Structure 1
Amino acid sequence: MNISLVIPLLNEAESLPELHQWIVKVMDREKFTYELLFIDDGSTDDSWKIISSLSKINPNVKGIRFQKNYGKSQALHAGFEVAQGDVIITMDADLQDSPDEIPGLYKLITEDNFDLISGWKKKRHDSVIAKNIPSKLFNWAARKTSGVELNDFNCGLKAYKKAVVKNIEVSGEMHRYIPVLAKNAGYNRIGEKIVQHQARKYGTTKFGMERFINGFLDLITIWFLSKFGKRPMHLFGALGVLMFTIGFIVALTIGSKKLYKLYLELPTILITQDPWFYIALTTMIIGTQFFLAGFLGEIILKTKNKEKEYRVSDQIGM
């Protein structure tokens, strides 16, 4: 099979028939063998009914339906888990991603031997204040933090070698950082392709300021996981030892001065009346807590049980 198309969606009933027709047109023209995986992330409209009806007229259409809205990352994870194509292409279901980009993405993976190609919506049809400016700021921060030189991390239109999606774990809200996850897994041939971005035709955007804020919080998470996810003791243990050492040196200095003054029979105060004593004590306690946090992190890594972060209520064609 040439291509697996993985399309997560939430309440996109109006756009699905048109999107399906457009994809089929491109696939037939290019003579691709394909499967079309719709991942219904807990839609409350008629999206699942439409997916069911499309599967009856097109055997290449398959579907997974979540019991409730778990998020785009979980939808992509479910799609990646069952995808069988040599190349996996993801796109949004709102018709803002053009299926006409599929052949170009496929060629970059199969002929130019990229591991991952990310779309770049260079010319956008979104609100400048609500999405464009926050998106540019977010992408700049992501580049500086991750070292992956992409202009548009959050573009839903991406293409992957099958091996990439089978060897990364997309959880939480990490779908924005799949290129970073791929790089951390050893897939370094990551490229970018300028793609057409279309104005939303149906429904309303799911974007809100909470997604923008969560994006930056996730960026901090992915940085930590990239650097210390497999070795938390290297961060927390080092911080703990450093802070404990500083506190101990301060406490030792206070004690030495106290003993020196007693030896010379000079007037002195109780150690507990010196504010530096409490600063040293607090620093040592925090250092110990950091060390224990790293130790517990190592234990959790060794014993954790991996559980899926979603529940499937129905499937089509699986």
Structure 2
Amino acid sequence: MNISVVIPLLNEQESLKELHDWIAKVMQSNRFSYEIIFIDDGSTDNSWNTILKLSKADKHVKGIRFLKNFGKSQALHAGFYEASGDVVITMDADLQDNPEEIPELVSMITKDGFDMVSGWKKKRYDNTFTKNLPSKLFNWAARKTSGVKLHDFNCGLKAYHINVVKNIDVNGEMHRYIPVLSKNAGFTKIGEKVVKHQARKYGETKFGIDRFIHGFLDLITIWFLSRFGRRPMHLFGALGVIMFAIGFGFSLYLGLDKLFLNPSGRLITQKPQFYIALATMIIGTQFFVAGFLGEIILRTKPNKKRYLVKDKLNF
């Protein structure tokens, strides 16, 4: 069994050697063929030098260094692109994810037939109010809007069949919603496993309360893209037609009222209802045009690279 371990990182030099040794021990004790892909997302410490040393000492270690910090989603995208294993494991570089979970995660993919398995940090060691409550709200909203029944969408420890990572597009800040992206791509057998969570040993967390605000905004985005990303006219066109019809119908009523029911009354242009109807028709037209433009953009958009790689090791 060939395993790819994909690890995005930012300024985690203290933990990399220990993490590498731990993963290597687990892999060798289970007789897995493996590769460890470190993606340095623009670190400003000595993380890349540590990866260089690890790659010279261990041929299983591969490295990708971004030109600057492009974000975790882009780092995962780069790692998924290079991964060659039958099963792909993702984990964070801060030693809070336990490599001892890897064999069972692999078994759930290869023997139980799951497309992907997401970790669930049921017992956390960073259980502060600023992280716990927003996380619960975020996971609840994600379950309700996506239909994917997971307790912990944002857990970094996940396992994937290789077909999944080669057929999903992780971009922006969508790493939180990889299970949803997988479901939308047709990989619907998604499992969950309670995993051990460990207190951070070195450094400080790179995420603050703002990640949950961004997370909810991304949730709205992915809901829209999953429903209307390939057919924007179905939303904007429908809204445009409805609003235009309402405005036109109201304008027609005002015209008929002036001609036949109240010809001696005020001019139509002196009634505020006329301007409401006119604004409704204009907004409806704009919605329709937005849907039309969305369809054009969708069919003509270029395949633009979202990150720049500075160095690669052992590829």
1:308 to 292, 305, 308: 305
Tell me the residue number matched to 1:64. 64
Within the alignment, does 1:12 sit opposite 2:48 as a pair?
A: no
Report deviation, 1:261.
3.8
Distance in 2, matches of 1:90 and 1:145, equals: 24
Tell me the residue number matched to 1:106. 106
Aligned partner of 1:170: which letter?
V
Q: Are the equivalent residues in 2 in contact too, given 1:261–1:268 (CA < 8 A)?
A: no
Tell me the residue number matched to 2:264. 267
Tell me the residue number matched to 2:274. 277
Distance in 2, matches of 1:2 and 1:141, equals: 36
Distance in 1, matches of 2:96 and 2:254, equals: 67
Report deviation, 1:210.
1.4
Report deviation, 1:160.
0.2
Tell me the residue number matched to 1:197. 197
Within the alignment, does 1:187 sit opposite 2:187 as a pair?
A: yes
Tell me the residue number matched to 2:256. 256
Distance in 2, matches of 1:303 and 1:16, equals: 42
Distance in 2, matches of 1:271 and 1:197, equals: 69
Distance in 1, matches of 2:3 and 2:190, equals: 19
Tell me the residue number matched to 1:291. 288
Distance in 2, matches of 1:233 and 1:188, equals: 27
Report deviation, 1:267.
2.4
Report deviation, 1:225.
0.5
Report deviation, 1:138.
0.3
Report deviation, 1:130.
1.6
Q: Are the equivalent residues in 2 in contact too, given 1:4–1:36 (CA < 8 A)?
A: yes
CA RMSD of aligned residues (A): 0.8
Q: Are the equivalent residues in 1 in contact too, given 2:95–2:200 (CA < 8 A)?
A: yes
Aligned partner of 2:51: which letter?
I
Aligned partner of 1:278: which letter?
Y
Tell me the residue number matched to 2:29. 29
Report deviation, 1:128.
2.4
Mapping for residues 164-179 of structure 1, pairs under 5 Å? 164-179=164-179
Distance in 2, matches of 1:199 and 1:128, equals: 12
Describe the superposition over 1:46-74 as per-residue Cα deviations: whole angstroms up to 9, x where unpaired: 00000000001100000000000000000
Describe the superposition over 1:223-271 as per-residue Cα deviations: whole angstroms up to 9, x where unpaired: 0001000000000000000000000000000000000146xxx521111
Report deviation, 1:206.
1.0
Within the alignment, does 1:220 sit opposite 2:229 as a pair?
A: no
Describe the superposition over 1:148-196 as per-residue Cα deviations: whole angstroms up to 9, x where unpaired: 0000000000000000000000000000000000000100100000000
Report deviation, 1:133.
1.1
Structure 2 SS opposite 1:306: coil
Moved over 2 A (4+): none
Question: Percent identity of the aligned residues?
Answer: 70
Mapping for residues 133-144 of structure 1, pairs under 5 Å? 133-144=133-144
Distance in 1, matches of 2:165 and 2:276, equals: 50
TM-score for both structures, normalised by structure 2: 0.99
Describe the superposition over 1:207-229 as per-residue Cα deviations: whole angstroms up to 9, x where unpaired: 11211100000000000001000
Q: Are the equivalent residues in 2 in contact too, given 1:89–1:160 (CA < 8 A)?
A: yes
**Aligned residue-pair number:** 315
Report deviation, 1:132.
1.1
Structure 1 SS opposite 2:65: strand
Distance in 1, matches of 2:162 and 2:210, equals: 32
Distance in 1, matches of 2:2 and 2:246, equals: 60
Structure 2 SS opposite 1:14: helix
Structure 1 SS opposite 2:249: helix
